[in-house]
Structure formats: C-alpha cells, structure tokens
C-alpha cells in the first residue's frame, strides 16, 4: 500500500513543561519537579503524530526568527515531518507554558508569536494541500487562514479534518468546507451550544466527540451513532493525547479505513501517548498504536 499523504495546517510552539505534585491555584506558587522543553503546538504535534502513525506528512505554518524557532524546525525535521514550506518570520516563535500534576492533568497558557502572522496561503501551500489525501487543521492560527485552507482542500478534492481547538465559535464558511469535525465537549458547546455531537450535524457531515479516557463518540448524517470505548492505561501526562488521537485519526482515514475503526485506532493512539511525559516526545509510533489497539480489542479481534 502506498504511504498515505497528510498535510497539517497549524501552529508550532516551544512547549515549556514543568511537572508538579499539584497545579497552582491563582496567586499560589508550588514547587515543581522535572522540567523539559519540547517542540509543540497543535499543528506540529498533530503533524508528528501523523508521521509516527505512518503517513507522509507536510506541515504548513510559521516559526519565529528566534532561538526557539531554530530549535523547533530542527526537532520537527528530526521527527520526519516535511517542513520545506514552514515559514520563518521575524520575531518570537509561539510558546506554551504547561504545568502537569501527579494525576496527569494540565494547565496551558499559549503565546502565539509567529503563529499569528500566518494570515494567508501562497500557491506552493495550496499545491501541497491539493496533493494530500487529508488536510488536518486546528484553531491556534488565524481562523481566516484555516478557512482558506479548508476551501482550497475542498476545491482540490482533499478531505478536511478540523480539530476545533481551542474552543470558539466558527464561521459558517469554514464549517461548510469541513468533512470531519473533531471536538471535545467544551468545543462542541462553543460551536452548537450543546455538549452532544448530534447538533453539530446541522453544520458538518461527520463528527467525532472526544471523551478523554472514556473514548470517543462518532456520528454522521447517514445515521451512525457509535460510542467507541477508550483504552485503559496508567496516565502519566495527558498533554498531547488529543493530538495523538487526531493525528492518528487523519492517517487512518487517509488510508481508507472505515471511520468507526479509525476512531478506535485513534483512541489507542491517545492512550499510548498518555503513558509518557511530554507533548511531541510522547507521541506514539504506529507499532505502539497497533499493539495497544490489538490488546484493547481482545482475543476475538472483532471488527
């Protein structure tokens, strides 16, 4: 089978991750433990997730001219993502400040930096979108750019997967161009006013509602409504589990898998990621996903 092609349109950030026993409350200082800096941002994370899940992946976005930008590009390159079209703009790169507690829960503050400058698409970027089987986007770059990318993909016959995070209301023009919407309950409320996936079918043909450790819920306009159980693991850090899920889901769909099966495989990817500390450094390989997916299906390996 030819390697599936995925293009990711999104953010790149340097993640500054500190581990602590508990998350600080407003005005409180807590003593932390391990500290790491890792390449992150939802765009970079999902691009790396897609590569590790088995796809040939390009990342479209922007980094700064600072030291973080140099390190970001080097680390994303090293992960196997094609960064040939990644823009370098004068100024600061995006940065995320992340605190992770002993239970694996986290708080995140993102400073967009260069991501905010990614306000249009050039012809080479449009061509990259047209060459992919699936275009995957998020909302850590200007929504106008996400909309332009989705319209370019729709025009070229490339499937559009939108992970509508961070939560916000979305323009109808963008939703009209989405083939598969991936949201958590907070994001679903921001778009439709309800935490269930069915109301979103008024705007898009297919929806995956992620439920954390409980799995995910897939619905579509053909009448499907399937709750896919999560895969139980000991959670170390949930920071990039959602990105692992979404990247793997895009790969599975690009490979032609049925979406319910793709969602189950993506749940295994998210669970595999949650077993490790960090964001991009924790994203699982295809072999790790397959192993956990096989175990989760049990001896009957039901389809």
Of residues 120, 243, 290, 300, which has the active-site annotation? 243
What is the CA angle 137-88-180, rounded to 5?
Answer: 5
13 among annotated binding-site residues: yes
44 among annotated binding-site residues: yes
- CB 166 within 8 Å of CB 140: yes
212 among annotated binding-site residues: yes
Nearest residue to 189 (alpha-carbon basis) of 181, 200, 179, 178: 200
Nearest residue to 124 (alpha-carbon basis) of 177, 90, 82: 82
243 among annotated binding-site residues: yes
Q: Which residues contact 17 (CB under 8 A, 6 or more apart)?
A: 35, 36, 37, 38, 98, 99, 100, 239, 277, 278, 279
Output 219-225 pairs: Cβ under 8 A, ≥24 positions apart: 220/259, 224/259, 224/260, 225/198
37 among annotated binding-site residues: no
Distance between the two ends of the chain, CA-based, in angstroms? 20
19 among annotated binding-site residues: no
179 among annotated binding-site residues: no
300 is catalytic: no
256 among annotated binding-site residues: no
- CB 93 within 8 Å of CB 63: yes
140 among annotated binding-site residues: yes
184 among annotated binding-site residues: yes
267 among annotated binding-site residues: no
115 among annotated binding-site residues: no
- CB 265 within 8 Å of CB 252: yes
Catalytic positions are 243
Cite the annotated binding site for ATP by residue number.
Answer: 184, 210-215, 242-243
Residues of each annotated binding site for K(+): 237, 239, 273, 276, 278
Give the annotated binding-site residues: 13-15, 41-45, 140, 184, 210-215, 237, 239, 242-243, 273, 276, 278
């Amino acid at each position: 089978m030819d390697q599936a092609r995925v293009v990711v349109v999104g953010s790149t950030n340097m993640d500054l991750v500190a581990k602590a026993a508990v998350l600080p409350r407003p005005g409180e200082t807590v003593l932390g433990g391990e500290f790491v800096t890792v390449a992150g941002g939802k765009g970079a994370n999902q691009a790396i997730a897609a590569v590790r899940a088995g796809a040939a992946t390009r990342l479209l976005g922007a980094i700064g001219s600072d030291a973080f930008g140099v390190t970001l590009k080097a680390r994303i390159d090293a992960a196997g993502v094609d960064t040939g079209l990644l823009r370098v703009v004068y100024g600061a790169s995006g940065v995320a400040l992340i605190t992770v507690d002993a239970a694996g829960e986290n708080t995140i503050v993102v400073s967009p930096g260069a991501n905010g400058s990614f306000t249009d698409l050039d012809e080479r970027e449009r061509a990259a979108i047209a060459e992919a089987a699936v275009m995957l986007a998020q909302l850590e770059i200007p929504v106008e750019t996400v909309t332009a990318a989705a319209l370019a993909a729709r025009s070229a016959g490339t499937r559009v997967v939108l992970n509508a995070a961070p939560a916000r209301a979305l323009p109808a023009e963008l939703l009209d161009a989405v083939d598969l919407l991936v949201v958590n309950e907070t994001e679903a409320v921001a778009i439709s006013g309800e935490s269930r996936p069915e109301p979103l079918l008024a705007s898009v043909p297919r929806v995956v509602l992620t439920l954390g450790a409980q799995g995910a819920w897939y619905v579509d306009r053909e009448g499907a409504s399937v709750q896919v159980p999560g895969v139980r693991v000991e959670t170390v850090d949930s920071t990039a589990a959602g990105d692992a899920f979404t990247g793997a889901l895009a790969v599975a769909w690009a490979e032609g898998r049925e979406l319910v099966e793709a969602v189950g495989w993506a749940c295994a990817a998210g669970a595999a990621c949650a077993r490790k500390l960090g964001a991009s450094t924790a994203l699982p390989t295809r072999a790790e996903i397959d192993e956990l997916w096989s175990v989760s299906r049990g001896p009957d390996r039901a389809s």
